[in-house]
Amino acid sequence: MSDTRQQIRAHVQANAGIHFNELVRSSEFAPGQIQYHIRRLIDADDLVREERYGQTHYYTPQYDKWERGALALFRRETAREIVVYLIEHDPSRPAAVADELGIARSTLEYHLDHLVECEIVDKRYDERNRVTLSLADPERTAPLLSEVTPTVPDRLVDRFTRLVDGLLESGHDAR
């Protein structure tokens, strides 16, 4: 394996779930070089590539499908904050989560849809159709959460989305 390829694999291993643009930003290699070596690493089963929510993420093979989905979501600041809140306040009502995190309900629901789809969060309805949120597998979730920190660009995109959702929701409430 070439030195460049080893460096790219080591970087992906240290940053599980990294997406292509972040890999380019954080490395010394040109995008074309990275694409070439990533293809070779995938062909050799040294990397796994997955499309998640509009981005291509890369992992080393030791992560299973559930872990790969969780790691991709934990790179999103808001999804990560929801999970941290549920670790500390499990179970919770959606209104409490949205209020505590200062996000619009639509933003919460967007991220919850993905967290539920990836079986990270359980959404339960009681006999009066009230929703309760809890972590599906807290023993697996908490340690995996510590492996990822959202990057500055990821956080900026998330904050912009929160701002727009908040403005849209407050404009809707004013009617």
Low-confidence spans in the chain with pLDDT less than 50: 152-153, 155, 175
Could you give the strand order of the β-sheet that contains 55-59, starting from the edge strand earlier in sequence? 18-19, 55-59, 48-52
Tell me the CB-side half-sphere exposure of residue 74, using CA atoms within 13 A. 23
pLDDT of residue 47: 97
CB atoms within 10 A of CB 10: 11
Q: Which residues pair with 125 in a beta bridge?
A: 131
CA–CA gap between residue 106 and residue 166 (Å, rounded):
9
pLDDT of residue 26: 87
Over the stretch 120-162, which tens digit does the pLDDT of each residue have?
999 999 999 999 999 999 999 988 888 876 554 454 555 555 5
pLDDT of residue 170: 61
Dihedral, CA of residue 79, residue 162, residue 12 and residue 136, to nearest 10: 10
Please report, for residues 63, 96, 138, 171, the alpha-carbon distance to residue 90 in angstroms, rounded to integers and kept in the order given: 26, 11, 9, 32
pLDDT of residue 119: 96
Please report, for residues 32, 34, 67, 101, the alpha-carbon distance to residue 107 in angstroms, rounded to integers and kept in the order given: 35, 33, 23, 11
pLDDT of residue 152: 44
